[in-house]
């Protein structure tokens, strides 16, 4: 059975979760591929909507290791025996060890999994250090004051009453290294690192999303010191006053409770969050005691651009590359833009080598050609941010952004 076909159907089911025939087809392919346990969740979803679906019942029995019964398509003729009815309770007891705990019986709502506090969530050491981050000197200084210095000096921390609890919001244009910087903080502290995004939390069952979020925070607390990185915090903590979904408002309330440590201490859990749109983040998340410190992560300056270009060219064959000239020609390029620029220059050199039959190095001319096509992706973000800094900065939250825009004559 083609694994690629199954993966395509899995993606299709995510896009069309209510498509019963599609789920049944996927479940049938999974069973045929020897992946019966994976099909059980899909069959349970079908039976939740249609408990009498004969195809789903037959496939469920096959997934649990038994022979599939003949589907009942019509009522028996006079004189014929009544069709055998499935005893799902007996089937559950017979195959209890084969059924994933979350779907203990077809058609039931999910039950908590025993020991789910140890659910699969990536908490791992980070090998990145702040020295690996090009530029961002102001950001590094702020992180040193907020997190790193108190961590290294235990006695002074106790003397000044500095708690190891804390939250810091990183904001700026996409592709400028906010996630990489968060990993570097964890590596510098010798702490473990975990990332949360909306897809790690959301669940179709009522109350499960909040439970997932709580378990993630509990995992971080057990692994303290730990840096918990909330990626795209505007998705998890969007302004509740503008939300149409009551479930998302409830999830936002749960996030506030976790940041406050209502059900457990957050001592040793460092909360770093990142967003491209801080103006969309709920104000309650940014009050003192939660994500109370805000740091603007600007597009890399010229020295940082040189360091980024050097990093991406380190393993490539280059000749006569003027990094300073390239850095000067890439103002407002994000780190992702610079990586794309190096990739494009390498493509031009490789294509030339293939066409001519003579292998050559990546040269300055390849970058010049790439620069005619690749432009800074941060310009649109900076224009939006300019309007915010000019007309929505009464509280001074965006003073750092305004300072950057003025220094670069963008405001």
Together in a domain, 227 and 361? no
Together in a domain, 292 and 308? no
Is 37 among the domain residues?
A: yes
Together in a domain, 130 and 157? yes
Distance CA 347, CA 275 (A): 32
Is 104 among the domain residues?
A: no
Last residue of a domain, one of 336, 352, 371: 371
Is 377 among the domain residues?
A: no
**340, 274, 266, 271: which is closest to 308 by C-alpha?**
340
Phi, psi of 227 (to 5 degrees): -100, 120
How many domains are there within the chain? 3
ω before 315 within 30° of 0 (cis)?
no
Together in a domain, 168 and 281? yes
**pLDDT per residue rounded down to tens, the chain (411 residues):** 457 777 777 877 777 777 888 888 888 888 888 787 777 878 777 776 777 788 888 887 777 765 544 444 444 455 544 444 445 455 445 444 444 444 334 444 444 333 444 445 678 888 888 888 877 787 888 888 877 887 778 788 788 887 766 688 999 999 998 888 888 888 888 888 888 888 888 888 888 889 999 999 998 888 888 889 999 999 888 888 787 778 888 888 889 888 887 656 787 788 899 999 999 999 888 887 788 888 899 999 998 999 999 999 999 999 999 999 999 999 999 999 999 999 999 999 999 999 999 999 999 999 999 999 999 999 999 999 999 999 999 888 899 999 999 999 998
Contacts of 233 (CB under 8 A, 6+ apart): 169, 273, 274, 275, 281, 285, 291
Together in a domain, 221 and 365? no
Together in a domain, 308 and 261? no
Together in a domain, 244 and 307? no
Together in a domain, 333 and 236? no
Instruction: Put the strands of the sheet holding 269-275 in their side by side order.
Output: 123-125, 192-196, 226-230, 269-275, 166-171, 293-296
Q: Which domain holds residue 208?
A: 123-296
Together in a domain, 276 and 319? no
Last residue of a domain, one of 296, 315, 336: 296
Last residue of a domain, one of 231, 264, 296: 296
pTM: 0.67
Together in a domain, 196 and 331? no
Facing residues of 296 across strands? 171
Together in a domain, 258 and 140? yes
Together in a domain, 341 and 272? no
**What CATH number is associated with residue 36?**
1.25.40
């Amino acid at each position: 059975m083609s694994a690629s076909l199954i993966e395509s159907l899995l993606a299709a089911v995510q896009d069309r979760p209510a498509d019963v025939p599609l789920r049944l087809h996927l479940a049938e392919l999974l069973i045929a591929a020897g992946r019966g346990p994976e099909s059980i969740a899909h069959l349970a979803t079908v039976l939740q909507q249609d408990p009498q679906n004969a195809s789903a019942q037959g496939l469920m029995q096959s997934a649990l290791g038994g022979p599939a019964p003949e589907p009942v398509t019509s009522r028996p003729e006079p004189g014929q025996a009544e069709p055998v009815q499935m005893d799902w309770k007996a089937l559950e007891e017979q195959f209890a060890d084969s059924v994933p705990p979350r779907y203990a019986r077809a058609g039931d709502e999910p039950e908590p999994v025993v020991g789910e506090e140890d659910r699969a969530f990536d908490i791992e050491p980070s090998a990145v250090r702040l020295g690996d981050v090009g530029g961002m000197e102001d950001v590094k200084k702020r992180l040193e004051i907020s997190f790193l210095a108190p961590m290294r000096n235990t006695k002074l921390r106790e003397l000044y009453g500095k708690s190891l609890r804390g939250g810091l919001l990183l904001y700026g244009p996409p592709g400028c290294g906010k996630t990489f910087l968060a990993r570097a903080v964890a590596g510098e502290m010798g702490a473990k690192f975990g990332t949360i995004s909306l897809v790690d939390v959301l669940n179709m069952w009522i109350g499960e999303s909040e439970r997932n979020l709580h378990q993630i925070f509990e995992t971080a607390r057990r692994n303290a010191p730990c840096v918990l990185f909330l990626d795209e915090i505007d998705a998890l903590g969007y302004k509740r006053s503008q939300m149409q979904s009551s479930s998302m408002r409830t999830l936002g309330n749960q996030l506030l409770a976790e940041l406050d440590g209502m059900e457990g201490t957050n001592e040793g859990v460092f909360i770093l969050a990142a967003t491209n749109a801080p103006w969309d983040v709920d104000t309650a998340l940014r009050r003192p005691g939660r994500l109370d410190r805000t740091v603007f992560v600007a597009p890399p300056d010229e020295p940082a651009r040189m360091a980024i270009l050097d990093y991406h060219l380190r393993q490539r064959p280059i000749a006569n590359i003027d990094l300073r000239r390239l850095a000067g020609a890439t103002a407002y390029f994000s780190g992702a833009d610079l990586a794309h620029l190096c990739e494009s220059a390498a493509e031009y050199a490789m294509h030339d080598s293939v066409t001519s039959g003579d292998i050559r190095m990546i040269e300055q001319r390849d970058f010049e050609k790439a620069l005619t096509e690749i432009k800074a992706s941060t310009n649109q973000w900076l224009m939006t941010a300019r309007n915010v800094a000019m007309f929505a900065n009464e509280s001074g939250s965006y003073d750092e952004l305004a300072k950057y825009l003025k220094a670069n004559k963008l405001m």
